[in-house]
Every structure is written in C-alpha cells, then in structure tokens.
Chain A
Amino acid sequence: MKNSTALSIVLLFALLVTAISGCVVGADDASKENIVWVGTPPAKNEDVEEKIIQHMIPYAGTEYGNITISASKENDKLRLHVSGVSANSMRPDLYDFTYDYDKNELIRVSYLLEAIPESVRGKAIGIAMQNEQIREILSADMGGSSIPSVKRILPETAEKFYEPKILLSVTWKDSSVSALVDMDTREVAEVWSGN
C-alpha cells in the first residue's frame, strides 16, 4: 500500500471517530442542560441523569426540550418519576424508574408516552376510526363523542400483540375500546373492547 493511501485512510478514520464523538457528546450535553430536579437532587444525581437520558425514548425525529425529575428514597433505592416535554406536542412522556445505588442500575418500571406530534396523533385517530369494529362500538355508545388518548407502545410490548415495532394505542376510555395502530401500514393491528 502506498504511503499516501495509508495516510488518507488514517485521516479518514480520524475524521470518522471525531464525527461520532462529537455527535454523542453533543447530544448528551444538550439533554443535560434541560434537566430540572423537583426539590433537592439526590446523591450521584449526575450518574442518575445520564442513565435516565439513555433510557428515555422521544418520538422519532423529536427530542425533549425539558426533562423534569422527582425522586423519593426507598431503602437503598431511588424511585424516580420523569417527565419529558417535546416541542411538538402538548402532552409529556412520563417514565417511572428505580435506581439501585449498590448496583448503579436503573430499571424502567412504567411508561406513558403521549408526546406525539399533533398531526401524527390526528392521523392515528383517523386510522382507528376507519376500522369497522371501532366505528360500531363508538356509534353504539355516547362516549364516542369523547376524544381518545393516543400513546406510544414500545416494541417489547407490541411484539406480544403484533410485531416488535413502535405502535400507537388509540383508546376511548369512556367507551372501553382501543385500537392498536401501525402507522407504517396505516392499519389497525388489534382492537380491544372492555365491554
């Protein structure tokens, strides 16, 4: 291999590593600046923040503008309630975690992800309402005039009902009916009725 070729390869690799490093560091710094603790931050709060950021999953193409964390101590663990607000939705994403100080381990206990762009939210509702089964239930129930909730369902849960991908759950609580929507195919994957 010629020396000039080898030098070019080394320079290109250096550029690649620099670019990747800048991407990761830049993302972390931008997220941490927007973290607010309710009350006094707990011990090792920076470690906790870093792990929380790694576990939060904003809607594709968006990022959290503000992250609010509240914590309560339970024996050697922290119970954390986290809210992430995105610029493109009026609803937050909510997460519950526990953090084990001894193991330096963060475990996600629950999530409720409603920070979805309004246009996507509207499309999901429209897809759900074009399902015949959903329409029948809603038309038979006065609650069909209420506005449904739209929540993201993560792949590990979606896999149990359809495929391991992010789906949207459109739920009319008053009517006890819900549609699991695949936004890629614009179809209803599953319908649930609690009546």
Chain B
Amino acid sequence: MPYPDYINSMHFSVDVWTPPKIQIQTPYIGGRVESGETYDYEIKLENIADKDISIDPKINENNRMYDYGPYGSMSAAFEDNAITITGPSVVKAGETVIVNVHLEVPDDSKGRYNGAIDLGIDDPSIREWEGEVQMNFEVWTQPTEPYTKTFTTGADDTITIEISSNPFSEYAYGMWMDSNTQDRKEPSFDVTLEGESGEVEMTLVKTTYSGSVSLGMSNFPPWEVDSTGIYQDISSSYVEEYSVSGAAGDWTLGILPSNADMFSYTIAFGPGE
C-alpha cells in the first residue's frame, strides 16, 4: 500500500476555484496579412479585482512549428521576432490597459503562423488557455502581374467577361471576428481587354454575391449527424460581369486579382474560329 491508512483519520482535498481577475477582451488576433507589410493589434485587459495584478506578455515558445501538411510539420511563415509586444507590467485594480502587438511580415515569407501570446498574468485562478491570446496569420502576397488569356472572335459582336472568386468560406469567421475587422478587404479585379487596335474600355454591368448553405443532411460524415438542422455555410462567391463591343479578331484578356487567391472566368461572344 503506497499510503499508510491511520485509524480515526480521514483524507480529503479541496480545490477552490475563483473567476479570473483579468478579463481578456480581445479573444484572438490574426487573419490574412501581406508580405512586406506591417500590422498593429491591440489586446485589451481589464482588472476586475480590487488589487493590482502584474502581467508579463510574451510569445509562448511552443509555437515554432505549424503542424499541418501531408508530410508532417511545416515551418512557420515567419519567426517570432517578427512580432513585437509592448505594454504595461501592471494592471491596476479596476483599470483597462492595452497590450500592443506589432507585426512586420518579412518580404519573403510564405505560409502560416500559428501561435499564442502568454500574457503572464500573476493570478493563481488562471487556468490553461485563459491567460493566452491565440494568433493565426496567413501570409498573402498580392500578385503584381495580371493573368492573361488570348482568344479570337470571328465576327463583330458583344464580348461578355465574367470573373468570379470565392472570398468567404473558411475565412468568413476570420473576417468578422478578426480584431482588425475594420481592415476587412473585399475581393476585386482589375480587368483589361486588348484587341488588334489597342486596349478597349470595359463596362462593369453586374456584380453578384451568392452562396450555398447546408443543413447537414447529405454528404456529411455519419459522426456529424448531430449538426443536422444547423445552417452551415458551404461556399460563397463574388462575381463581376463586364461587357464590351468588339470587332472580329484576336484579343487578350488581362485579370489582376486583389484579395482573391482563386478565381474563375468565362468569355462569351458570337461564333469564333
């Protein structure tokens, strides 16, 4: 027997829990960031107790690898030293303070950065996860050269170009719940059309938002049956339609996307070669 058992004695333990004294009002920072750009975030902390509490925010060191990919762990898009954290060392009783997070995305960075800031809150009631702010960044590089597509029309006719992207899907929540939602960026396209006599002016005739929603009743794994009946965004798209009168001949369509990592296009006109 590992522990002695004494007559007329009892063993008991007491776990006393109290709510955290520091409220973290910024739940999460992250989103899509561009290489070569800088970003500033604020983490608001409110001390709801009646005594001052010290903090020591710094990056949690257990985040150097982004555990994602078919061949095992992949390196993060940038090192921890791309992130600078500044703020007070004490949150006075009843006070709200701001911890500033400054991100400088390296020019050559690619991929994702997934980590956490350990706020170092000096409060024994803090449980796992409660003293951290999660970070999740995806590095995005805006293209500078347009995608081009050549085609030939056989007669003078109206040429209709339709371009669509899927901007939401996985990033819908990120766009709405990102602490930098005021910087939320919509997709857009810079579209050019050049014929044998030079570039022609395109007219944007229609913009369309669409999406598909599932109630989880078909084509879902059987263990997700309990989500049946709850609306789930499956996909959504953004479409721009352009129109121009064009002469028969060779044409080159140019599409330079902004804030869209994938798009599709259709080119409609009269009989061609």
Separation of A160 and B226 alpha carbons in the complex (Å): 13
B169-A87 in contact (CB<8A): no
Answer yes or no: A11 CB below 8 A from chain B CBs. Answer: no
Which residues of chain A are within 8 angstroms of B178 by Cβ–Cβ distance?
90
B18-A26 in contact (CB<8A): yes
Which of B129, B221, B230 makes the CB contact (< 8 A) with A88?
B129
A158-195 interface code vs B (CB 8 A; 1 in, 0 out): 10110000010101010010101000000000101010
Separation of A111 and B216 alpha carbons in the complex (Å): 11
Residues 148-172 of B contacting A (Cβ, < 8 Å): 169-170
| Residue count of chain A within 8 Å CB distance of chain B | 60
Separation of A139 and B232 alpha carbons in the complex (Å): 25
Answer yes or no: B114 CB below 8 A from chain A CBs. Answer: yes
Which of B132, B223, B230 makes the CB contact (< 8 A) with A190?
B223
Answer yes or no: A140 CB below 8 A from chain B CBs. Answer: no
Nearest chain B CB to A12 CB, angstrom units: 7
Which of B67, B130, B230 makes the CB contact (< 8 A) with A94?
B230
* B interface residues with partner A (beta carbon < 8 Å): 8, 10, 12, 14-19, 24, 27-28, 30, 63, 66-70, 72-73, 114-116, 127-130, 132-136, 169-170, 173-174, 177-178, 216, 219-230, 232, 234
B173-A90 in contact (CB<8A): yes
Residues 17-45 of A contacting B (Cβ, < 8 Å): 19, 22-23, 26-27, 30
B19-A30 in contact (CB<8A): yes
Nearest chain B CB to A52 CB, angstrom units: 16
Separation of A154 and B223 alpha carbons in the complex (Å): 9
Which residues of chain B are within 8 angstroms of A157 by Cβ–Cβ distance?
223, 225-226
Nearest chain A CB to B104 CB, angstrom units: 21
B173-A91 in contact (CB<8A): yes
Nearest chain A CB to B165 CB, angstrom units: 14
Which residues of chain B are within 8 angstroms of A139 by Cβ–Cβ distance?
70
Separation of A27 and B27 alpha carbons in the complex (Å): 20
Which of A9, A16, A112, A122 makes the CB contact (< 8 A) with B68?
A122
Nearest chain A CB to B242 CB, angstrom units: 26
Nearest chain B CB to A130 CB, angstrom units: 7
Q: With A90-B178, A151-B224 as given contacts, are A96 and B229 in contact (CB-CB < 8 Å)?
A: yes
B170-A147 in contact (CB<8A): yes
Which residues of chain A are within 8 angstroms of B177 by Cβ–Cβ distance?
90
A126-B224 in contact (CB<8A): no
Q: With A16-B14, A19-B14, A19-B16 as given contacts, are A178 and B224 in contact (CB-CB < 8 Å)?
A: yes
Which residues of chain B are within 8 angstroms of A160 by Cβ–Cβ distance?
223
Which residues of chain A are within 8 angstroms of B69 by Cβ–Cβ distance?
126, 129
Which residues of chain B are within 8 angstroms of A22 by Cβ–Cβ distance?
16-18
Q: 7 closest pairs, A vs B, by CB?
A: A178-B221, A126-B67, A192-B221, A87-B27, A112-B227, A147-B170, A61-B128
Which residues of chain B are within 8 angstroms of A158 by Cβ–Cβ distance?
223
B129-A110 in contact (CB<8A): no
Q: With A129-B69, A178-B221 as given contacts, are A111 and B116 in contact (CB-CB < 8 Å)?
A: no
Answer yes or no: A107 CB below 8 A from chain B CBs. Answer: no
Question: Which residue of B63, B69, B134 has the most chain A CB atoms within 10 A of its CB atom?
Answer: B134
Across the two chains, which residue of chain B brings its CB closest to A12?
A: B12
Which residues of chain A are within 8 angstroms of B30 by Cβ–Cβ distance?
90, 118
Across the two chains, which residue of chain B brings its CB closest to A87?
A: B27
Which residues of chain B are within 8 angstroms of A154 by Cβ–Cβ distance?
226
Which residues of chain A are within 8 angstroms of B220 by Cβ–Cβ distance?
171, 178, 194
Given A110-B226, A125-B68, A194-B219, 18 more contacts at CB 8 Å?
A: A5-B8, A87-B28, A88-B132, A88-B134, A90-B136, A110-B228, A117-B134, A118-B114, A119-B63, A123-B67, A130-B70, A147-B169, A151-B224, A153-B223, A153-B224, A157-B223, A178-B223, A192-B223
B67-A122 in contact (CB<8A): yes
B14-A88 in contact (CB<8A): no
Which residues of chain B are within 8 angstroms of A122 by Cβ–Cβ distance?
66-68, 114
